[in-house]
Structure 1
Amino acid sequence: MLEADNLACLKGDRLLFRGLALRLAAGELLRIAGPNGVGKTSLLRLVSGLALAEAGEVRWKGTAIGRDREAFHRDLLYLGHAPALNDMLTPLENLQFAVAAAGDDADAETCMQALVRIGLANQLDLPARVLSQGQRRRVGLARLFLSGRRPLWVLDEPFTALDVGAVEDLAGTLSDHCTSGGMVMLTTHQDAPFAVPPKVLDVGAFAC
Structure 2
Amino acid sequence: MAVMDACDFLDTTRDGYDRTAASYAERFHDHLDDKPVDQAVVSAFAGLVARGVNKRVLDVGCGTGATTAMLAGQGVDPLGVDLSPNMIAHARRLNPDLHFAVGSMLGLDAADGSVGGVCAWYSIIHVPDEHLTEVFAEFHRVLVPEGLLLLAFQVGDQPRILTEAFGEEVALTFARRQPQSVAHLLGESGFRVYAEVVRQPDDDGLESTPQAYLIARRTEGGD
Greater RCO, 1 or 2 (C-alpha within 8 Å, sep 6+):
1
**TM-score bin, normalised by smaller chain:** 0.3 to 0.5
- With normalisation by structure 1, the TM-score equals 0.38
